Structure 1
Amino acid sequence: MSHSPLLNLPGPSQELLDDIEAAIASARAFVSAFDPELVVVFSPDHYNGFFYRAMPPFCIGTAAQGVGDYGTYKGPLNVQAELATDCVRAVLDADVDIAISAAMDVDHGTVQPLQNLFGDAASVPVIPIFINSVATPLGPLRRVRALGDAVGRYLGTLGKRVLIIGSGGLSHDPPVPTLATAPPAALDRIVHGVPMTTEQRQARQTAVMEAAREFAAGNGSLAPLNPDWDHAFLDLLDTNRLSETDAWDNAWIAEQAGNSAHEVRTWVAAFAALAAQGGYRTDNHFYRAAPDLIAGFAIRTAVSAS
């Protein structure tokens, strides 16, 4: 499922919010019926927990806390430390390099789906898995699929009902700072992790809201959404053609769908983890090109065919 900080801020139309909430409610019903014993979340970060002082492509947390950005949950998550550590071992044994964190900070990209699906982000046992989707240079998508496959093979040994979440927008290009363009204060944050003051965080929220208003009005410099690209990606998932993403070039993804479209890496990893158990089928086929959110917003549910 996609996420967006703008879901928690003034600006989006009530019609859009109602449409997305109805789709989330369907996903919530799917999750409730499945009644998972463990939740694994593949998610990005937006320079709230991971920074250029040491930016791993992948990281599994054995403990994690929400930073509370954009009104999301702030506090510790119910991370299953022993299972998370075993998952790290299994991924390394599968020849996929991954970092481990015993003090992972996670932002709305991780917490918002948990809150939407469970109400309380800390109420469910989780393993958080970070996938760098913002800080270039990025590795090839085939490595993301290899990560998902390794995680899925490990999860298949547990004998548990495991819900796998991939949290990311599809085509979108929000105003995210980069090493080349960030002003000094933002550079300190994305490189060194210098915390934002309350005033800076409020200013950031205001800037995001203003960028969304301009974008929805057809103004500004952000790259346009690409619903055709989004639908092609979703069709690829629906028809079990995940391996085709191995050949996708990172520059092509950004050109077609915006710099933050790399968040589809979380979807690739999640579906690869499911596919490690064999074929699957998808349902809850929701998609909305949502300029008010500066994002192609989608939701899919899927179950193993076996």
Structure 2
Amino acid sequence: MSALLQCLSHTPLVGFVDPAPDVLVEVNTAIATARERIECFSPELVFLFSPDHYNGFFYDVMPSFCIGMAAHAIGDFGTAAGVISVPQGLAEACAEAVLADGVDAAVSYRMQVDHGFAQPLEQLLGGLQRYPVIPVFINAVAAPLPGFRRARLLGEAVGRFARSTGKRVLFLGSGGLSHQPPVPELARVEGLMADRLKGSGRHLPADEREARQQRVINAARRFVEDPDSLHPLNPEWDQSFLGTLASGRLAELDGLGNAELSAIAGKSTHEVKTWVAAFAALSAFGPYQASHRYYRPIPEWIAGFGAIAAAPTQS
């Protein structure tokens, strides 16, 4: 097997607002199974597609896509903090290949990432530095957003580069599914909050970061008690989306506009473009077979929570 894919929802609310114990067992079992599968595969190179939540990318310069030449995790919501093991030479070659393939992606030699990157590295790989990882950021919260087609083309370009390395590669997609936690929008804020979104939030004071995290925790608690307090989860759309990925019909999502997706499943659902990019990257290795599909709406985490794996059928 030359390639493997694993997509997994992330949530900063683990341990803060948790669902019933039997649901936790389900989720932890799905994660443990994925971790064991990855361990057996023993990847030589990992490509991690993930969004950010105004912790590393801001409106001082907001790219649609960015490939990290070096990266560190800030450790928000108790996730791992520290340097991610990025193979700089391979990351530079990837960025050059993606640009040559017609996809405009920024690069960063000081990429700052949050739980969206750190959580899958912890849960699936056992830490930030166990495997060489090329981090690929996809903007999923800061309008204007890239559409599904651009995310797919990015993934295909990354996949072609990955195939050219001759290494055993793992593609990870982090985020989604349907959800809309309280994320600020530049068009709706002013003063200090607007300044934070424009870049000063890159290094938040500890008390301000704690207050920000507590707002998300409080919103989750309210959502459990009052489902109308936030945009509802959409299990039907989530399951349909998983089916689209599993069947390889990625291009069918090209026509789904950003405003329509926000209305259907919530404004943070754009994180699923990381899953599309990961599957598109895998498609560079030929037809694939999806497996180990898991899904459950979990209001405690303000998320349609899912996982899915895939590998080339030739394997």
TM bracket, shorter-chain basis: over 0.9
How do 1:202-241 and structure 2 match up within 5 A?
202-219=210-227, 221-241=229-249
Q: Is 1:199 the counterpart of 2:207 in the alignment?
A: yes
Task: Give how far 1:219 is off.
Answer: 4.5
Residues 122, 186 of structure 1: alpha-carbon distance in 2 compared, 3 angstrom cutoff: farther
Task: Give how far 1:120 is off.
Answer: 1.5
- Counterpart of 1:166 (choices 145, 154, 173) is 173
Q: What residue number does 2:262 align with?
A: 254
Q: Which amino acid aligns with 1:262?
A: H
The 3-state SS of whatever aligns with 2:99 is helix
d(CA) in 1 for partners of 2:186 and 2:301?
A: 24
Q: What residue number does 1:190 align with?
A: 197
Q: Which amino acid aligns with 1:93?
A: A
Task: Give how far 1:95 is off.
Answer: 0.6
d(CA) in 1 for partners of 2:222 and 2:190?
A: 22
> Relative contact order (alpha carbons < 8 A, sep ≥ 6): 1 or 2 greater?
2
Task: Give how far 1:131 is off.
Answer: 0.3
Q: Is 1:104 the counterpart of 2:111 in the alignment?
A: yes
d(CA) in 1 for partners of 2:228 and 2:212?
A: 17
d(CA) in 2 for partners of 1:301 and 1:272?
A: 13
d(CA) in 2 for partners of 1:78 and 1:170?
A: 27
Q: Which moved more, 1:93-102 or 1:13-22?
A: 13-22
Q: What do residues 147-178 of structure 1 show as CA deviations (whole Å, max 9, x unaligned)?
A: 00000000001111110001011100000001
Where does structure 2 lack aligned partners over 5 or more consecutive residues?
1-7
- Aligned-residue sequence identity (percent) comes to 50
d(CA) in 1 for partners of 2:71 and 2:126?
A: 18
Q: Which amino acid aligns with 1:291?
A: P
Task: Give how far 1:276 is off.
Answer: 1.3
Query: In the alignment, is the contact (CA less than 8 A) between 2:82 and 2:128 conserved in 1?
Result: no
Q: Which moved more, 1:11-20 or 1:72-81?
A: 11-20
Q: Is 1:135 the counterpart of 2:149 in the alignment?
A: no
d(CA) in 1 for partners of 2:267 and 2:260?
A: 10
d(CA) in 2 for partners of 1:15 and 1:55?
A: 40
Task: Give how far 1:73 is off.
Answer: 1.2
Q: Which moved more, 1:276-285 or 1:148-157?
A: 276-285
What is the TM-score with the length of structure 2 in the denominator? 0.94
Where does structure 1 lack aligned partners over 5 or more consecutive residues?
none
Q: What residue number does 1:150 align with?
A: 157
Query: In the alignment, is the contact (CA less than 8 A) between 1:3 and 1:168 conserved in 2?
Result: yes
Q: What residue number does 1:180 align with?
A: 187
Residues 10, 212 of structure 1: alpha-carbon distance in 2 compared, 3 angstrom cutoff: closer
The 3-state SS of whatever aligns with 2:188 is coil
Q: What residue number does 1:263 align with?
A: 271
Q: What residue number does 2:128 align with?
A: 121
d(CA) in 2 for partners of 1:10 and 1:223?
A: 18
Q: Which moved more, 1:84-93 or 1:5-14?
A: 5-14
Q: Which moved more, 1:15-24 or 1:223-232?
A: 15-24
Residues 253, 152 of structure 1: alpha-carbon distance in 2 compared, 3 angstrom cutoff: same
Query: In the alignment, is the contact (CA less than 8 A) between 2:152 and 2:277 conserved in 1?
Result: yes
Q: What residue number does 2:53 align with?
A: 46
Task: Give how far 1:67 is off.
Answer: 0.8
Residues 186, 17 of structure 1: alpha-carbon distance in 2 compared, 3 angstrom cutoff: farther
Query: In the alignment, is the contact (CA less than 8 A) between 1:9 and 1:209 conserved in 2?
Result: yes
d(CA) in 2 for partners of 1:70 and 1:265?
A: 23
Q: What residue number does 2:5 align with?
A: none
The 3-state SS of whatever aligns with 2:97 is helix
The 3-state SS of whatever aligns with 1:6 is coil
Task: Give how far 1:200 is off.
Answer: 1.2
- Counterpart of 2:90 (choices 51, 75, 83) is 83
The 3-state SS of whatever aligns with 2:119 is helix
d(CA) in 2 for partners of 1:114 and 1:184?
A: 35
Q: Which amino acid aligns with 2:168?
A: R
The 3-state SS of whatever aligns with 2:91 is helix
What is the TM-score with the length of structure 1 in the denominator? 0.97
The 3-state SS of whatever aligns with 1:180 is helix
The 3-state SS of whatever aligns with 1:3 is coil
